[in-house]
Structure 1
Amino acid sequence: MASLAAFWRYGVVKTARKLKAAALSPLMAARGDDAVRSAYGVLMVPNWQDTTFRYCIFGTYGRDLADLLLGQREDFVFVDIGANQGLYSLIAAQNPRCRKIIAFEPVPTTHARLAANVALNGGAARTALHLLAIADSAGEVTINVAPDHTGTATLAGREGASGSGGVTIETIDAPLLDPLLAGDLPMFVKIDVEGLEAVVIAELAKTPSFARVSAIFYEVDDRWASAGEIEALLRAAGFTRFAKYGRGHHYDVLASRS
């Protein structure tokens, strides 16, 4: 029964949302609106040529992480690693218990849209935006970016990665990351970095601030990431509960402490 429910939720419903996005996006783009309200209730600056934007508008990503963020009942900080245009930062800001948002998006054009979306929704006062990527060393690197699907930008160097490349970004490692996470509230972390999740988690785990991380929602694609490796890394750091969201080779996991 559970597998049937997963097939319906993550197969049939998600596919229907993708088809809806493809069919209606040209019509909505032709209207020329200055801002578009997404299926998640937040406003976004139009970017219709981008698949990631269209998925945000039509709710293709589902409600799993959105509901987790809106359901937090104690004060927390949301750390959005791989924020893209800011969908989940904007959703977290809807929860008054979210006292601060720390968002990392290293691609300059995408970061500019992130900043515009935060301003559009009135969340700038409690949102810290960083034009940075988290990696195992600090410096400058070139990232693959697909203009028509910004959500596939990756530093992982995986086979078949899409994008034109040629975009130079800045990376930071644990010593530079820790001061950006300073505070005393628990942190809910989202990581969506297209195959570099294990590296990001390893760097987070090196910071003193990591002790305040109560939950991590991270993406896994079995074609280029090892779910077992990531889980072992988190168990060694004190995480004991792992809940899977999705089906097939591409899914999400919520890791939390006891």
Structure 2
Amino acid sequence: MTDASLLARTWEYRVQKTALKLSARLRAALAAAREGNAAPRFARSRYGVLMRANWSDRTFQYCFYGTYGSALADLLNGMDRPFAFIDIGANQGLYSLIAAKAPQCRKVLALEPVRETFATLQDNIAANETTGRITAVEAALSDHAGTATISVNPAHSGTASLDHGAGATGVASRSVRLIDHEEFDDLVGEPADLVVKVDVEGHESVVINELMKSRHAPTIRHLFYEIDQRWTDNAAIVALLREAGFTTFRKYGVGRHYDMLASR
């Protein structure tokens, strides 16, 4: 990477994105003071989809103001042949909703284990009239079926984690359902080209390992996943994916927290 390109990426992902997050939090605070959260209402995000407004949730703020960037949205909208989208760690459903409206997307499977967040996901699916295209399942993919305790921060619903956060200030715990690759296979159904997103707050290695056991693994065309180097070894994931037939890898972001796109 040249010095110029590194400087450009640092500007985009550290300076601009940090500024966008701070701006989103400030504008959300003003919106909450002006409108309140008393009555359910929906707001159209910068990504073009309706979402149930919760100005006190940082994840909603970032969805609404477009802070998450355009890489995955552009990929979904630019697919050149029919595909199915698998959203593992769907949260409120931003990318499930974007995918459901993409020209080549035929169906969406959205996995979200936290009950309160899952209810918001269902509301957003209904508000966008995508009920017939999105199958939402209240569960998390892991290396075994059963139940587990997840840490949840109501002030930032997207940070819910099976592996981290327990005991932190403002963090609660919930019991959630786990599924393994066998049940996942049944949910996916008929073979199709797949685009998969994995955003599970430190559980990525486990989830991707389980995905590679799926009978649908050979049909995954693109895998978009989050990395936080505090608890995830991206080199190990890349090695696993290369062995599974992925040939190109693109990094979005700088520093210890970034996204990866693996493609065949």
Query: Where on the TM-score scale, by shorter chain, does this alignment land: which range?
Result: over 0.9
Residues 153 and 163 in structure 1, CA contact (< 8 A), matched pair in contact too:
no
Match of 1:31 among 5, 30, 35: 35
Name the CA distance, whole Å, in 2 between partners of 1:68 and 1:206.
Answer: 25
Q: Residue 49 of structure 1 corresponds to which residue in structure 2?
A: 56
Change over 3 Å in CA distance of 1:43–1:3 after alignment to 2: same
Residues 1-20 of structure 1: matches in 2 within 5 Å? Answer: 1-20=4-23
Of 101-110 and 13-22, more deviation after overlay is shown by: 13-22
CA contact (8 A) 2:248 2:262 kept: yes
SS of the residue corresponding to residue 144 of structure 1 reads strand
**Aligned equivalent of 2:261:** 254
TM superposition shift of 1:162: 6.7
Over 3 Å counting, the alpha-carbon distance change for 1:74 and 1:168 in structure 2 is: same
CA RMSD for the aligned pairs?
1.6
Q: Does 1:138 align with 2:145?
A: yes
Contact 2:96 2:110 in 1 (8 A): yes
Q: Which residues of structure 1 form unaligned runs of 5+?
A: none
Aligned match for 2:98, one of 91, 98, 109: 91
Percent pairwise identity: 50
What is the CA-CA distance between 1:160 and the residue it aligns to? 8.0
Spell out, residue by residue over 1:36-66, the C-alpha distance to the aligned partner (whole angstroms, 9 max, x if none). Answer: 1111111100111110000001111111111
Q: TM-score, normalised by structure 1?
A: 0.95
Given candidates 22, 32, 50, the residue that maps to 2:25 is 22
Question: Relative to 1, partners in 2 of residues 1:34 and 1:159: Cα closer, same or farther, differing over 3 Å?
Answer: closer
Q: Does the 8 Å contact 1:142/1:165 carry over to 2?
A: no
Which stretch shows the higher mean deviation, 213-222 or 23-32?
A: 23-32
Q: Where does 1:112-131 land on structure 2 (aligned, <5 Å)?
A: 112-131=119-138
Tell me the SS of whatever aligns to 1:247: coil
Amino acid in the other structure paired with 1:15: T
Per-residue deviation, 1:4: 1.1
1:212 aligns with 2:219: yes
Answer whether contact 1:144 1:163 (CA < 8 A) is retained.
no
AA aligned to 1:11 is R
Match of 2:230 in 1: 223
Report the CA distance between 1:164 and its aligned residue: 2.6
Query: Unmatched 5+ residue regions in structure 2?
Result: none
**1:175-214 mapped onto 2 (5 Å cutoff):** 175-214=182-221
Say which is worse superposed, 32-41 or 82-91, in terms of deviation: 32-41
Identify the match of residue 174 of structure 2 among 158, 163, 167. Answer: 167
Partner SS state of residue 17, structure 2? helix
The 1-side partners of 2:252 and 2:239 are apart by: 18
1:233 pairs with one of 230, 240, 255: 240
CA contact (8 A) 1:146 1:163 kept: yes
How far residue 96 of structure 1 moved from its aligned partner, in angstroms, is 2.1
In the TM superposition, residue 19 of structure 1 has moved relative to its aligned partner by 1.9
Per-residue CA distance 1:181-206 (angstroms, 9 max, x = gap): 11122000000001111111111111
CA offset at residue 94 of structure 1?
A: 1.9
1-structure distance, mates of 2:123, 2:262: 31
| Cα shift at 1:75 | 0.6
Alpha-carbon offset, residue 166 of structure 1: 2.6
Whether the 8 Å CA contact 2:150–2:174 is kept in 1: the answer is: yes
CA distance in 1, matches of 2:142, 2:165: 15
Instruction: Determine if contact 1:103/1:130 at 8 Å carries over to the other structure.
Output: yes
Over 3 Å counting, the alpha-carbon distance change for 1:192 and 1:236 in structure 2 is same
Letter in 2 for 1:31: E
Work out the number of aligned pairs and report it.
Answer: 257
In the alignment, is the contact (CA less than 8 A) between 1:217 and 1:252 conserved in 2?
Answer: yes
Over 4 Å off, 4+ runs = 158-163
TM-score (normalizing by structure 2): 0.93
